[in-house]
Amino acid sequence: MTTDATTSTQADNAALTAVLAAALDAVITMDGTGRVLSFNPAAERTFGYRAADAVGRDMADLIVPPDLRDAHRRGLSRHLAGADPVVLDQRIEITGMRADGSEFPLELTVTRIAAEQPLFVGYLRDISDRRRAEAELKASRARLVTASYEARRRIERDLHDGAQQHLVMLSMTLRLVRAQTPDDSPLAELVDQAIRELGEATAELRELARGIHPAVLTQGGLRPALRALTRRMPVPVDLTDIPDGRWGAAVEATAYFVVAEALTNVARYADAQQASVSVREEDGKLVVCVSDDGRGGADVNAGSGLSGLRDRLDALGGTLEIDSPPGGGTRLLAEVPCES
Amino acid sequence: MRATVLIVDDHAGFRAGARRMLEAEGWDVVGEAVDGASGVDAARSLTPDVVLLDLNLPDASGLELVTTLPASAAVVLTSTHEEEELDDLARERGARGFLPKSSLSGASLAAIIAAG
């Protein structure tokens, strides 16, 4: 080797050492027998071993939880025996173990260095914080959706306990006045008119309250609430298999508003002759299906109604699928986890 | 003899209005109660022919109370809500029926009891 080449190799090694020392990810090299060859500072911070203690040890014993070690060793043996690599050169998420035995989620890429002897380099990153943030985000979205349903229920209850009660009182008083007013009195017509207008105001307020949150859903659950909903629809709706049970308020409200939104779309856009609604409980989920024989072509991204529904379902860990080929009717399938 | 009725509702205004309206049409309002617990007590001691029972009471749902009231009383649930399904629910729970508050009158209450 020439002096220049030696200098160049030394420079390369120094650069490699600096890269590994500064790397934010744990970088561990391992030979074909599973022994640790190098353990960079990030690996020391991540796993709690000093490099001097880690090098030469069996890597599985060091950083793989006991119940996963056999699988790790079998995979390595299979690969060395010529099987196609399963985990090489791709990002995977696994569970790692620190020196104190605590386990944590990590993401990992393993690559094999082309050399006479098998040599593997693993790049590993502790993703505990990300997982925690994801879990908190998911929980907070679910809380927001649940809180929005609770707020709607509270508004409906406040309307019911407040304005609607007062209007009912007023209606009773007016009817008493009317009962005591002779039919030929000039007041009779005025009182009748007041009763009619009050009836219209009460009906409008009742419709508003029902749209915010239907009382029959709180009182009786999904089955009577869906019966009431479908009865008001201008398109005939076949309502089948609606279970009689009760679920959490957010689950029932989500399932109800899925059907309400879907049927509103059927009435407005589908030009359908018939629609059908079914609900069943399956594997801890309420599976809600709304279909029609209309013109199809519904797009979940086109209107705020369906995309808003999908957001709410997503926040609760549920799903929304729409199959709506042009001319082929629309089928909306939603799954709501019962534990929401 | 006039038919007797007990009004169970947490809204004083409704109780007073319902009393005036029913008495004006010949009913004998024998008592009022403000919640489920006192309603059940009053129904047991007053043995009315009819209990006019609000759907939303502070301590209970009227639907849940129906079976705890004396069997001798015909129970009619009432509310400012007006869903037809509430009538089905009320009947399923053993009540005689459901009467929206906006439709309450001596005649409409008598009609539900008669149709029973």
- Greater confidence, B67 or A2? B67
Contact A176 B82 (CB under 8 A): no
Model pLDDT, residue A27: 97
Which ranges of A117-185 would DSSP assign to H, the alpha helix? 128-159, 165-179
Q: What is the pLDDT of residue A117?
A: 84
- Measured in angstroms, the CA of B37 and the nearest CA of chain A are apart by 19
- Look at A226 and A16; give whichever has higher pLDDT: A226
A165·B14 Cβ contact <8 A = yes
pLDDT at A304 over 70: no
Among partner residues A172, A219, A225, which is closest to B17 by beta-carbon distance?
Answer: A172
ipTM greater than 0.85: no
B1 to chain A, minimum CA–CA distance in Å?
A: 23
Q: Does A195 touch chain B (CB under 8 A)?
A: no
User: Considering only A118-127, A295-304, B11-20, which range has the smallest mean pLDDT?
Assistant: A295-304
Query: How far apart are alpha carbons A55 and B88 in whole angstroms?
Result: 76
Q: Is A274 on the interface with B (CB under 8 A)?
A: no
Name the stretches of chain B with pLDDT < 70: none
Q: Which one-letter amino acid corresponds to residue A191?
A: V
Six-digit token pair at A337?
């986890």
Tokens of residue A267, six digits: 């009435």
Say which of A169, A179, A227 has its CB closest to residue B13: A169
Which chain B residue's Cα is nearest to A225? B85
Work out the end-to-end distance of chain B between its first and last CA atoms, rounded to an integer number of angstroms: 20
Two tokens, residue B66: 């129906």
CB contact under 8 A, A224 and B83: yes
Residue A339 pLDDT grade (very low, low, confident, very high; cuts 50, 70, 90): confident
User: Chain B 22-81, CB below 8 Å of chain A: which residues?
Assistant: 24, 55-56, 61, 63, 79-81
B1-24: pLDDT as tens digits: 789 999 999 999 899 999 999 999
pLDDT interval class at A277 (50, 70, 90):
very high
Chain B residues with CB under 8 Å of A214 CB are 83
Kindly report, residue by residue over A130-177, the tens digit of the pLDDT: 999 999 999 999 999 999 999 999 999 898 888 988 999 999 999 989
* Those residues with Cβ within 8 angstroms of residue A192's Cβ, 6 or more apart along the chain or in another chain: A178
Cα angle A86-A90-A94, degrees, rounded to a multiple of 5: 75
A306: pLDDT strictly greater than 90: no
Nearest by CB: A219 against B61, B82, B101: B61
Beta-carbon contacts of A86 under 8 Å, excluding residues fewer than 6 positions away, are A75, A78, A79
Nearest CA in chain B to A170: B17
Full-prediction pTM beyond 0.80? no
Q: Which residues pair with B50 in a beta bridge?
A: B5, B74
Distance, in Å, from the CA atom of A314 to the CA atom of A304, rounded to the nearest integer, reads: 15
Q: Cβ of B89 and A179 within 8 Å?
A: no
pLDDT band at A3 (very low <50, low <70, confident <90, very high): low
Q: What pLDDT, on a 0 to 100 scale, did the predictor assign at position A17?
A: 86
Q: What residues contact A253, with CB distance under 8 A and at least 6 apart?
A: A149, A152, A153, A213, A217
A157 CB contacts (<8 Å, ≥6 apart)? B56
For residues A141 and A164, give the distance between their C-alpha atoms in angstroms, rounded to a whole number: 33
Q: Which A residues 212-271 touch B at CB under 8 Å? A: 214-216, 219-220, 224-225, 227-228, 231
The answer to whether the beta carbons of residues B43 and B70 sit under 8 Å apart is yes
**B24 vs A179: CB contact, 8 Å cut-off?**
yes
Q: Does the pLDDT value for residue A86 go beyond 80?
A: no
Please indicate whether, in this complex, the C-beta atoms of A215 and B81 are within 8 angstroms of each other.
yes
Answer whether B20 touches A (CB < 8 Å). yes
Q: What is the pLDDT of residue A275?
A: 96
Token digits for A230? 């479908």
Q: Could you tell me the strand order of the sheet in which B28-33 lies?
A: B28-33, B4-8, B50-54, B74-79, B97-100
CA distance B22 to B2: 11
Kindly determine whether residue A175 and residue B85, on different chains, have CB atoms separated by under 8 Å: no
pLDDT at A2: 57
**pLDDT on residue A291:** 96
8 A C-beta contact, residue B93 and residue B63: yes
Per the listing, tokens 């959490």 go with: A248
Quickly state the pLDDT bin for A308 (edges 50, 70, 90): confident
- What mean pLDDT do residues A235-252 have? 91
Residue A313 above 80 pLDDT?
yes
Using the Cβ of A164 and the Cβ atoms of chain B, whether some distance falls under 8 Å is answered with yes
Q: Is the pLDDT of residue A85 over 80?
A: no
Tokens of B77: 């649930």
- pLDDT reported for residue B112: 94
Work out the minimum CA distance from B102 to partner chain A, whole angstroms. Answer: 5
Q: Which of A206, A214, A231 sits opposite B84 (nearest CB)?
A: A231
Contacts 24+ apart (CB under 8 A), A48-53: A48/A98, A48/A99, A48/A100, A49/A99
Q: What is the pLDDT of residue B37?
A: 96
Q: CB distance B83–A166 less than 8 Å?
A: no
- The answer to whether residue A84 scores a pLDDT higher than 90 is no
Mean pLDDT, chain A, rounded, equals 91
pLDDT of residue A303 exceeding 70, the answer is no
